[in-house]
Amino acid sequence: MSITPTQDSSSNFRQKIYRREEHGISRKNISQNALNVLYDLNAAGYQAYLVGGGVRDLLLGLKPKDFDVATDASPEQVRQVFRNSRIIGRRFQIVHVHYGREIIEVSTFRAPSEQSTEIPGSSLSRRVKHLDSAHSQDGMILRDNVFGSIEEDAIRRDFTVNALYYTVRNFEVLDFTGGMQDLQQGTMRIIGDPELRYREDPVRTLRAIRLAAKLDFQIEEHSAKAIKPAAKLLLSVPAARLFDEFLKLFFNGHGQSTFRQLLAFEVFAFLFPPVAEFITTEQDQAMLHGAFASTDKRIAVGKSVTPAFLLAAILWPAVRRLFSQNLQTGMPPMPAMHDAGESVIKQQQETLSIPKRFSIPMREIWEYQLRLERRSGKRAFALLSHKRFRAAYDFLLLRADSGEDLQELANWWTQFQDADKDQRQAMQNKLGPADVSKSRKRRVKSRKGSK
C-alpha cells in the first residue's frame, strides 16, 4: 500500500501545545468584547477558545477582521450566558453576541461530516453527541449541526492555519493539525483529503485562493492541485452565498492578485459564466484588471467602493457584445443596451446572485455610456449633475484605458468637468451637430467590428 505524504500529514499530526512565551499572542491585540466572551464562558464552566482567522492573523501580526469563538457549550447554553445574544440559524447554528456594532460569533464544537472522518491514518476518535447532518448526492454538505469534541472541531475546519485555538485559561495555543508550522512557512494546506473537502463545500476553493492572496501564502501542492477539478462544483453553490463570497474576494484590498489566481486556477469562469469566453486573452482581461486595480487603489486610500461598479465592469464584455448584436437586428441604441444589460444580469443571477440595490445602478452605468456620447445642446450640462455621472464617467475612462476607441470622448469629459462656465459653453459650441454624427459613426464602426 502506498502512502501519499503531504495529503494526510494534517490528520496524522499529534496535538501540540504552544505556551504563551512560544507564540507571542498578546491580549492587548484582542478585542475586549472577544475576551469578555471567553472569560464569561469559562466562568460559566465551559471551554472557550478564540479560533479561525482571528488567531491566524494575531499570530501573523495582522489586525484581525473579526473574532470567532468556539466552545463546548450548546447554542442554547451560550444564549443563557449572554443576554445580548441571538441564535442564528444558517447552515450551522451559531450564536451572535452583540456589543454595540461589534459581533462576536460563538460556535459550538462541531464534528466533521461522516465522509471527511474517513481520513486514512486519522488518530482522532469520533464522539458524536447529537446527529443532524445531511449530504447531497454529489457529496456536498447541506446541513451540519453535529456537535463534537475540540479535536473534531479542528479537523472539520478548512485549512490548518485556520484551526488554531487560543485560550485565556493559560494563554496557550492548541494545534491539532500542524497549523503553526504551516503558518510559519506561509502554507495554506487543506485539512484532510483535498478532493473530498472541496466536494463537501466548493466554496473552500475560493477561500484557499482568497486567503493565499491576502496573506501572500502558497497553497500546498495537493490542496492546490484539487482546486481546478473542483471549480465546476461552484455552479451548485447557492447563488446568494456566492455573492457573499464575491464581496470577500474582491473588497479586501487584494482584488487584482485574487483575480489572477482565480484565472490561473480556472475558477473565475464558474463565478461569472456570461464572461467565461472573454477572459482567455490578456487583451480581453484588460478591462477586468483595470477594474480590480482601481478598486484596490481606492480601498488603499480609504475611498468608497461599490460592488455595482465592479460588477458592471466584470460583465461589460458580455453586455457590450450583446449590445452590438442587438444593434445589428435594428434595435435603437437605448433599448439595445437595456436589453443587453437585462439579459446578461439574468444569466448571471443563476450562478451568483446580484441584489437589486446593485443591479439597478449597474444598468444605469451601462446605459449612461450611451448618454455620455450625446453631448450636444444642454445634454452635457444636465448629465454632469446626475447622481450616476461620476460612476459612468469613471467607467468610460476604464473602457478607454482598456483599449476601446474612446480616448477622445474620455478626454472631452475630463476637460469639461475641469472647465469653468464659459469654457464649457465654448466646448459645447465647438461640438455642434457633429457630435451626433460622430457617435453614430462609432456605432456603425462597432457594428462592423462585431461581425
Binding residue count for ligand ATP, defined by CB under 6 A: 13
Instruction: Give yes or no for residue 143 binding ligand ATP (CB under 6 A).
Output: no
For the bound state, the minimum distance from the C-beta of residue 315 to ligand ATP, rounded and expressed in Å, comes to 25
Angstrom distance (rounded) from CA 58 to CA 25: 6
Q: Which of 158, 175, 182, 193 is catalytic?
A: 158
When CB distances are held under 5 to 8 angstroms depending on the partner's kind, the choice from Mg ion, ligand ATP, none that residue 291 binds is none
Closest CA relative to residue 188, chosen from 94, 261, 251, 127: 261
Spatial distance between the Cα atoms of 141 and 315, rounded to a whole number of angstroms: 30
**Least distance CB 148 / ligand ATP (angstroms):** 13
Residue nearer to Mg ion on the CB measure, 64 or 75: 64
CB of 427 to Mg ion, least distance (A): 51
CA 396 – CA 107 distance, rounded (Å): 46
Whose CB is nearest to ligand ATP?
Answer: 53
Q: How far is the CB of 214 from Mg ion (least distance, A)?
A: 11
| 57 in active site | no
Sorted by sequence, the CB contacts under 8 Å of residue 279 that are 6+ apart come out as 263, 268, 269, 285, 288
**Residue range at the interface with ligand ATP (CB under 6 A); choices 182-190, 197-205, 311-319, 398-406:** 197-205
Which string of DSSP letters, residue by residue, matches 245-262?
HHHHHHSSS-HHHHHHHH
Verify binding: residue 245, ligand ATP, rule CB under 6 A. Answer: no
Residue number, 56 or 371, with CB nearest to ligand ATP:
56
| CA dist., res. 150 & res. 172, Å (int) | 14
Alpha-carbon distance of 38 to 49, in angstroms, equals: 7
DSSP structural state of residue 226: T
> Pattern of binders to ligand ATP over 7-46, x per CB under 6 A?
----------------------------------------
Quick one: which of 259, 262, 260, 251 has its CA closest to 296?
Answer: 251
Shortest CB 203 distance to ligand ATP, Å: 5
Cα–Cα dist 236/249, whole Å: 19
Q: Is 66 in the site for ligand ATP (CB under 6 A)?
A: yes
Rg (CA), the chain: 26
Distances in Å between the Cα of 375 and the Cα atoms of 202, 292, 327, 391, 397 are 48, 29, 21, 17, 16
Q: Which of 72, 158, 364, 435 binds ligand ATP (CB under 6 A)?
A: 158
* 178 counts as binding ligand ATP under rule CB under 6 A: no
162 makes contact, choosing from Mg ion, ligand ATP, none, with CB < 5 to 8 Å by partner type, with ligand ATP
52, 112, 179, 192: residue in contact with ligand ATP (rule CB under 6 A)? 52
**Rounded to a whole number, what is the largest CA-CA distance in the chain?**
84
Instruction: State the binding partner of 157 from ligand ATP, Mg ion, none, CB within 5 to 8 A by kind.
Output: ligand ATP
Q: What are phi and psi of 218, to 5 degrees?
A: -95, 140
Interface residue list for Mg ion (CB under 5 A): 53, 66
Which of 202, 140, 161 has the alpha carbon at shortest distance from 58?
161
65 binds ligand ATP (CB under 6 A): yes
Pairwise CA distance, residues 308 & 310, whole Å: 6
Indicate if 68 belongs to the active site: yes
Task: Between 53 and 179, name the residue whose CB sits nearer to Mg ion.
Answer: 53
Catalytic, 420? Answer: no
Which residue lies nearer to Mg ion by CB, 105 or 404? 105
| Catalytically active residues, by annotation | 66, 68, 158
Binding site for ligand ATP (CB under 6 A): 52-53, 65-66, 68, 157-158, 162-163, 201, 203-204, 248
